[in-house]
A and B are shown apart, each in its own frame.
Chain A
Amino acid sequence: MKLKTLTLATLLFQGTLTWAQTDTTTDLLGLLGDEEPVIYSTATFKSTRVINGQSIENVAGGVMDFRISHRFGTLNSGVHKMFGLDMASMRLGLEYGITDNWMVGIGRSNVNEEVDGFTKIKLLKQVESGPKKMPISVSYFGSIVMRGTEWANPERTNYFTSRLYYCNQLLIAKKVDDKLSLQLSPTHVHRNIVATADIPHDVFAVGLGGRYKVSRRLAINAEYFKLMQNNIPGATNSLSLGVDLETGGHVFQLHLTNGSSMNEKGFITETTGSWNKGDIQFGFNISRVFTVKKPKGYQE
């Protein structure tokens, strides 16, 4: 009895084996052996900004991004100021991808008449699947801001370098799944000039950002920058909540934030508004991309 079962099993096994063999001969692609490609995570965030701060995304090589950003006045400014809509801080930016991994940008803000220039470089790219393994993406962001306002003390000797502010930032991001992405952004800001001797020139902060994709076109974003020191008079941590709306070539980012500046040294070190007191500003970023240089490999 036992022997019979065994024979039957062997027969069945042989049967499947031969069948499998005939099957594989028609699997021509299988004959070639599969070359497993490295697939990197893409679209960790919809835009190059989470809200105020930089996201891990770059504009693609050869693409120009024209950005218009507005922050209205605070909601608690009341009906006389139309809850903030009467006032606006704004930044206009032109940002360009030199390669897929390296972008540069310039921007002009009416807050303190500032001009900013920055660069963002991809250092590590998260791998979605393939023979290589990389759980996170890492980028470096660096910027210089020039403050354009009249000197506070014109009677003394003022140096051009006193107008400058620097920011170094590491962006560490993880696309957890199709919907959820998270980012950690350790930040260092250096101010060449500060109001008094006991105010630090160097400021350290840590940013936390996240997005949750609700649909193909809509995502919810949140961003928080925590100052790692409390010796900056009046400064509060910047907190922003928003949505990203995407159409074909535009991304609209609508949000509420307590920071009115749109460059790093501004919203990280100079935010004074408090969510508790209602110093909340409505704002938006509009991004419109133009292809300046056609991608390599594309055929007309």
Chain B
Amino acid sequence: MKKFILSIALLSAVSATQAQKYFTRNGHLGFFSKTNMEDIKANNENVTYIVDWSSGDIQISALQTNFKFEKALMQEHYNENYVESSKFPKATFKGKIDNVSAINIKKDGVYTATVSGALEIHGVSKNYTTKQHLRFPVVM
């Protein structure tokens, strides 16, 4: 049974578009799967994240071909056989931070955010709810 753990990394190089909207194009995203044969692990350092702190909307877009694997062949199989990157080039997440009012981005500290929304991979969309820690200030 493969278990994918999606970890939403901290927003890096945050820049403001409007008053309450923050985004980055160099966000981090990774996944890990333990199997008997070998572990499957990849990371992507060019992920687009955008958060609207007034509404709590959060959206993420990751290009599949930007996931780096330890083994080139594993990366080829991932793109060619599994996620079919030529047909489905991006993985996206569109959701909301449900308890956005409890997070004060102007005050340093660690917050727990409940995020729910739709994760779309390989053309299939599924709804997820997860808790994530947010830390201010953002440390690279």
Contact = CB atoms under 8 A, between A and B. Distances in A.
A43 B76 contact: yes
Interface residues of A, number: 32
B23 to A, nearest CB: 6
Interface stretch (A23-31, A132-140, A232-240, A255-263): A23-31
A248 B37 contact: yes
Interface in A40-61: 41-43, 59-61
Contacts of A291: 70-72
A128 B80 CA distance: 13
A-side interface mostly: loop
Interface string B45-60: 1001011100101110
Given A28-B57, A31-B50, A39 B43 contact: no
B21 interface: yes
Contact of B81 (A26, A216, A297, A298): A216
A129 B70 contact: no
Interface residues of B, number: 38
Contact of B70 (A32, A97, A295): A295
B50 A39 contact: no
Contact of B68 (A39, A41, A178, A295): A295
Contact of B48 (A29, A61, A62): A29
26 contacts: A27-B59, A28-B58, A29-B48, A29-B50, A31-B17, A31-B50, A32-B17, A35-B25, A39-B65, A39-B85, A42-B79, A43-B76, A43-B80, A63-B72, A63-B73, A248-B73, A289-B73, A291-B70, A294-B70, A295-B68, A295-B69, A295-B70, A296-B68, A298-B42, A298-B70, A299-B43
Interface of A: 26-29, 31-32, 35, 37, 39, 41-43, 59-63, 97, 128-129, 178, 216, 248-249, 289, 291, 294-299
Interface of B: 17, 21, 23, 25, 30, 37-38, 42-43, 45, 48, 50-52, 55, 57-59, 61, 63, 65, 68-73, 75-76, 79-81, 84-86, 89, 92, 94
